[in-house]
């Protein structure tokens, strides 16, 4: 129970179905440690108060679980490391993988509870022909969260329930108001929970004690055209905030963290047809044996795009899109879909140039 309306209604629906329920909130950080306010973040002190009040109203036991040390190790430090290596992290996916559906499942089994229940908008079904558990999109396309859940294993899917998958957000709001939940009209949390003001570099400098040095902006020919404020501050595809006095619009096309350079170029340079993905988690199929034609999305809000999936060495895969994709970013997730079913997903680790051989 994150303190939001979705997880509150998930608890209500499970109790209505006759399940014996226990509410839990993961304490992942302390606000004072991050210099964060109490509102509009996930798992803040205010969220804990709201979750506790809803649990009391539903007459279910409630407990706060302190996972601050694990969160720092598994989520925050990986977040910082990915940026320092030139990638763009997705901490919400890592939190689902290492915290919600790992630590919480261990806690559930230790208390003789059979399922984890969350307020995600997604669905889980079992394929009677293959025996595999299938992850599917939520029926509310605008709220579907299957993209951030691609890392769920068969074991985790077998012990997870998403009661909101068949509902729209509007229906959930109405349900919460009918039950007079304190958070019925509470805003959804949209920021990275430990960086509520959006200044991720400021957070990184505060957390690590480092100061990220300035370096050179260069064009695609390697010519210096300006000075940047630290390569970690820029993401692939960024246009605003570059401060470069150039006549044409330019975008961040590449970063070299060792040389501390940021390459800028025209919008055409952002597009790529091929993407390499590692650390694949297969859901609807046990693995990839040959080429597969499905659809894929490289960002949470992106519409799925037609793609051919080919196996590479070391369990990696190559995605070859029918149409060039704008700004694929190393560190982000690539998730494969067959209709509304998640085939699998992994982490983008390379964006080959045209003509480059991939093995």
Active site (catalytic) residues: 95, 193
| 26 is known to lie in a ligand binding site | yes
Helix 5-16 vs helix 169-178: angle between axes, to the nearest 10 degrees?
70
Sequence-ordered list of residues with C-beta below 8 angstroms from that of 136, at least 6 positions apart, any chain: 122, 123, 124, 125, 146, 165, 340, 341, 342
Helix (H) or strand (E) holding 110: helix 104-110
Q: Is 51 exposed, middle or buried (0-12, 13-18, 19+ CB in 10 A)?
A: buried
**323: how many CB neighbours lie within 10 A of its CB?**
10
Compute the C-alpha angle 125/23/198, nearest 5°. Answer: 85
Coil/strand/helix, residue 174: helix
How far apart, in whole angstroms, are the C-alpha atoms of residue 357 and residue 359? 7
Sequence-ordered list of residues with C-beta below 8 angstroms from that of 51, at least 6 positions apart, any chain: 1, 2, 3, 7, 8, 23, 25, 62
| 119 is known to lie in a ligand binding site | yes
Instruction: Please give the annotated binding residues, written as ranges.
Output: 26, 119
Instruction: Please give the annotated binding residues for ATP, written as ranges.
Output: 26, 119
């Amino acid at each position: 129970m994150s303190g939001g309306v979705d997880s509150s209604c998930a608890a209500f629906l499970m109790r209505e179905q006759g399940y014996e329920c226990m509410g839990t909130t993961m304490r992942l950080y302390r606000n004072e440690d991050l210099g964060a306010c109490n509102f509009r973040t996930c798992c803040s002190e205010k969220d804990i108060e709201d979750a506790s009040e809803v649990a009391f109203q539903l007459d279910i036991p409630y407990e706060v679980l302190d996972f601050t040390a694990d969160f720092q190790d598994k989520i925050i430090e990986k977040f910082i490391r990915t940026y320092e290596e030139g990638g763009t992290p997705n901490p919400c996916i890592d939190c689902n993988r290492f915290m919600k559906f790992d630590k919480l499942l261990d806690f559930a089994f230790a208390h003789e509870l059979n399922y984890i229940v969350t307020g995600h908008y997604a669905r889980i079904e079992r394929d009677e022909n293959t025996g595999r558990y299938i992850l599917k999109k939520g029926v509310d396309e605008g709220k579907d969260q299957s993209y951030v859940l691609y890392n769920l294993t068969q074991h985790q899917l077998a012990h997870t329930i998403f009661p909101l998958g068949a509902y729209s957000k509007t229906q959930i709001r109405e349900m919460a108001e009918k039950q007079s939940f304190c958070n019925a009209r509470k805003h959804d949390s949209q920021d990275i929970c430990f960086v509520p003001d959006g200044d991720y570099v400021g957070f990184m400098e505060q957390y690590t004690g480092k100061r990220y040095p300035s370096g050179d902006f260069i064009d695609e020919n390697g010519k210096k055209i300006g000075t940047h404020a630290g390569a970690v501050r820029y993401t692939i595809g960024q246009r605003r905030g570059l401060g470069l006095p150039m006549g044409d619009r330019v975008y961040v096309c590449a970063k070299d963290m060792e040389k501390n350079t940021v390459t800028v170029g025209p919008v055409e340079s952002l597009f790529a047809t091929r993407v390499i993905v590692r650390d694949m988690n297969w859901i609807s199929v046990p693995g990839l044996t040959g080429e597969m034609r499905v659809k894929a999305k490289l960002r949470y809000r992106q519409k799925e795009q037609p793609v051919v999936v080919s196996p590479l060495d070391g369990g990696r895969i190559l995605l070859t899109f029918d149409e060039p994709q704008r700004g694929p970013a190393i560190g982000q997730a690539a998730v494969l879909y067959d209709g509304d079913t998640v085939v699998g997903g992994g982490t983008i680790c390379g964006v080959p140039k045209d003509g480059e051989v991939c093995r």
